[in-house]
Amino acid sequence: MQESVIQQTASFVKDRLKNAESGHDWWHIQRVWNNTKLILETETADGMVCELTALLHDIADSKFHDGDEQIGPRIAGEFLHSIGVDADIVAHVQNIILHMSFKASLGEVNFHSKELEVVQDADRLDAIGAIGIARAFNYGGFKNREIYNPEIPVAENQTKEAYKNTTAPTINHFYEKLLLLRDKMNTTTGKRIAAQRHDFMDSFLQQFYAEWQGER
C-alpha cells in the first residue's frame, strides 16, 4: 500500500515536471528523494511522510505564481487526497512543504518536525557541492547575471526581501546562501555529507579567484 502510494506520487510528479525549469526539474526531485532515503538509513522519522514530501516539495514554485506560497501545498494536498492518503499524513506533508524553503527559514520558523529536518537536509544537499555549483550558474545564466564582478560586494545579513530581489553576480550567491547551508543542516548524516560538499565549494572558489587573477 505504502509502496504503491509512493510510486503513484513519483509518476504524478515526474509527469507534472516534464516542462519544468532545470533548477527544479524531475532530476532535482529524484536527487532529493535519494538523499532522503540515504538520511533515513540513520535517522528515525516517518519514512512515508519524508518520501512523499521529497517528491512533492517543488511541485509548484511560488516564484512563478506571484509569490503564492500556498500553491505548492495545495496541489500536493489535492493529489494525495485523490489517491486516498490519510488526512493527517496529507496535512503533515503540506506543512513541511510550506516551511521548507530557504526563504521560509529566513523568516520566523514556527513549525518543527523530524520529517521536515530530514527532507530539508536532503533538499539543501542538492544546493551545495558540484551539483549546487552547476545549479547556481545555470540559474544565473537563465537570469542573465554576471558570473562574478569584484566591484559588487556581497550582501550581508540577508533579509527575506533582499534575498528575493538580488540581481548580484552568481559568485555572490555562494556567500549569500550556498556557504551558509553547511551550518544549517539538521541531521548527523546531512552534516557529514554537507561538510564534504562545502569543502569542494571552497576549493572551487579558490581556483576560481586564482584563474580570475590570471594565475597559472
Task: Give the binding site for ligand ADP (CB under 6 A).
Answer: 23, 101-102, 123, 127, 132, 135-136, 139-140, 166, 170, 173, 177
The least CB distance from residue 61 to ligand ADP, in Å, is 6
Q: Which three cell numbers stand for residue 68?
A: 503564492
Nearer of residues 85 and 122 to ligand ADP, judged by Cβ: 122
Give me the least distance between CB of 200 and ligand ADP, in Å please.
15
* CB 28, min distance to Ni ion, A: 6
- Binder of residue 173, out of ligand ADP, Ni ion, none (CB less than 5 to 8 A by kind): ligand ADP
Nearer to Ni ion, 79 or 102 (CB): 102
Q: Work out what residue 47 binds among ligand ADP, Ni ion, none; the CB cut-off runs from 5 to 8 Å by kind.
A: none
- Give the per-residue contact string, 42-61, with Ni ion (x = CB under 5 A; - = no): ----------------x---
Name the residue nearer to Ni ion (CB basis): 58 or 115. Answer: 58
3-state SS track over 23-80: HHCHHHHHHHHHHHHHHHCCCCCCHHHHHHHHHHCCCCCHHHCCCCCCHHHHHHHHHH
Per-residue x/- marks for Ni ion, 92-131, CB under 5 A? Answer: -------------------------------x--------
**Rounded least distance, CB 176 to ligand ADP, Å:** 7
Residue 95, binding choice from ligand ADP, Ni ion, none, Cβ under 5 to 8 Å by partner class? none
